[in-house]
Amino acid sequence: MKLCIAEKPSVARDIAKVLGANQSRQGYMEGNGYLVTWTFGHLCTLKEPHDYSPHYKSWDLIFLPIIPKNFGIKLISNPGVEKQFRVIEQLVDQCTEVINCGDAGQEGELIQRWVLQKARCKKPVQRLWISSLTEEAILEGFANLKPAEDYHNLYLAGNARAVGDWLLGINATRLFTRKFGGNRGVLSIGRVQTPTLAMLVQRQKEIDAFNSEEYWELKTVYRAVHFSAAIDRLKTREKAEKGLDYLKQHLFEIVSFEIKEGKEKNPRLFDLTALQVEANRKYGFSAENTLKYIQSLYEKKHTTYPRVDTTYLPDSLYPKIAGIMRAMHFYSDLTAPLLEGGLPKTKAVFDDSKVTDHHAIIPTEVTPGSNLAREEKLIYDLVAKRFIAVFYPECKISNTLVEGKVGTIPFKTNGRQVLEPGWRAVYAKEKVELQDKSRVEAKDEEQEIPEFKAGETGPHKPLVHQGKTTPPKPYTEATLLRAMETAGKQVEDEELRDMLKANGIGRPSTRANIIETLFKRKYIERKKKNIFATRTGMDLIDTIDDEVLKSPELTGEWEYKLRKIESGEYEANVFREELVAMVTDLTRKVISEKARSISFEEVSVPQKKEKIPRKTTVIEWNEISCPKCQQNRLIKGRTAIGCVQHRECGFKIPFVCFGKKLTEKQIHDVVVKGKSGKLKGFTGHPSGITEGFLALGEDGKVELQSR
């Protein structure tokens, strides 16, 4: 029997149906020589620190950095997960070979490998690699199964990513929380989330620091066409008024009139990030929701695999394009001209060198009926129209540039006219046009420009426009996704953006989750479509001095190395060693820094309410010697402050002493000064003493003294 393991029950059912495994069992299906079972995404995860040693339950700085010699995995603690794993474990024992039917990507490979590793699988393993879940694609995939070894580098990259995230996340989070956390709770640090937050904080600071300034511009209207003065903005109203008086004394003269014909390139097919950007721009969908909708469309067989970062198709897909278009009945008015005239094959669409494991997101020949939710229909429409638009001719345009002058002051204006709509015809019914650069251009914003002749003059209507400088725009999810894709560089050009993808922050499939994590931890907040860093998020980034943790460029370099591991050009062990060295250096550096904890409280201030920083003291217990043995350092536990060698030494001061809860400062006074200040509220002293001074006795035990 051959065992197929899919990533989800729904995918397993699709595969089982195609294979003829129609007999339902508990946790799997059987038939025609196949066993078909499933995971629920991740069944396994990397072990936690305390799984390696119980003392790692403590977040004390003396245990950092935590560097396991060998990273282990364990089942996720969940009854459903454990039950399904037992099914898989038994089926692995029964089968003759395993077919890995996980999602065809890095995360899918990692999920399956960990499960098979946990199940101690010794059977031969083959890999099903498909880009859609249609019956044709599944049959073709099973006819072309690959040895699991072909995807070993993919697994190594996924495992290196997980280990890297664990090393940095566990150590940096504990390090900064204990060193600088104060009363703010856990300070969550992540390989991808922290540089992403840093970009948002930097933009927030630019916005907060921006001082708006008034300016004045000279404009005029000649033959119903609006012209702007081609000079620097004027800083004072007086200069503007003088300029206006000057303009009134002279006629308008045309200096040059030029018309250039050009072309607008077709938009690219969607990769996941581009789809998330467009859905956010057009419909306000979050990146996470867009991923959810396109994943659902994929599982319903209407679109191809979505978690991709390429906008190209392989040459081998060209013969299937016409069949897909013929199946798209709802778009027959748009596809008919293409099917009648023949589909072009261009390098802008088909390029094997730009396609690795998967191609761009396109529709399949399985068109949706009435089974889609409204949001899924909108996402499908984006994918379908983009798929059609790339095969239309380029849009031909006419750009007009007119230069003029009034006296010695130069003026100019420009206009744009669509001569042949080409691919824009696909979007003719929409109010705004989608563009290659993901910008909105309303047709009615373009002014019609009549023909002018150089040297002509005439009266005009000058005016002064008053405006204010505006701060940098806040990030939206669309612009944040683009910034993550290009490691913080603001890039409009598609080709340049493609070159920067290898060094982007995170992967297309993880960026939405990173953004949502920042929301959940209240490091960022959404106001309409805009995203802002919260006070908590800004405070966290300000606490981190080390640029390694918050630099988009450096994080992009790590991502580049992970891609190199995937392609077999970089060693996973080397990547791990580099991260271990970085985490070790970071730990030493931060522990040696002076604590600078900041907490925030709401304070009323006349005319404005804001969070005011208040300095508090963080006690570094590991820098204080035990007052009893005088040899070891102190550590902070859950219930007490005590000697690191407590079992031998015996010294400790509990946080609740004689019925009173003590602060760390009060315990610090007892340890360092030998006696606390006068305290009240003791309720559990054997002699009924309710107030007094805590002091250390000769045996190192705490005593309550009434004077």
Strands 2-6 and 97-101: parallel
Q: How many residues in total does the chain contain?
A: 707
- The one catalytic residue in 34, 155, 305, 331 is 305
Fill in the amino acid letter for 123: K
Give whole-number Cα distances, 180 to 66, 188, 616, in Å.
19, 12, 10
**CB neighbour list of residue 330: distance below 8 Å, 6 or more residues apart:** 367, 384
Give whole-number Cα distances, 560 to 206, 406, 609, in Å.
29, 55, 44
Structure tokens at 649: 């030494």
d(CA 30, CA 151) in angstroms, rounded, equals 27
Supply angle C-alpha 98, 101, 102, rounded to 5.
120
Pick from 361, 365, 392: which is nearest to 379 by CA? Answer: 361
Q: In what helix (H) or strand (E) does residue 291 lie, and over which residues does it extend? A: helix 287-299
**Are the CB atoms for 35 and 95 separated by under 8 Å?**
yes
- 538-550: buried (b, 16+ CB within 10 Å) or exposed (e) per residue? bbbbebbeeebbb
Q: Residue written as tokens 């079972």?
A: 37
Pick from 200, 272, 695, 215: which is nearest to 474 by CA? Answer: 200
d(CA 457, CA 12) in angstroms, rounded, equals 76
Give whole-number Cα distances, 540 to 76, 177, 199, 323, 590, in Å.
30, 10, 13, 54, 14
Structure tokens at 375: 């949001």
3-state secondary structure of 217: strand
3-state secondary structure of 474: coil
**Are the CB atoms for 99 and 5 separated by under 8 Å?**
yes
Q: Where are the alpha helices (DSSP H) in 438-505?
A: 477-485, 494-500
d(CA 29, CA 35) in angstroms, rounded, equals 6
Residue 492: Cβ-neighbour burial (10 angstroms; 0-12, 13-18, 19+): exposed
Pick from 368, 155, 355: which is nearest to 271 by CA? Answer: 355
Cis peptide before 65 (omega within 30 of 0): yes
Residue 56 designated active-site: no
d(CA 565, CA 548) in angstroms, rounded, equals 21
Longest dimension (CA), the chain: 108
Strands 598-605 and 73-75: unpaired
**Are the CB atoms for 159 and 110 separated by under 8 Å?**
yes
Which residue numbers are catalytic?
305
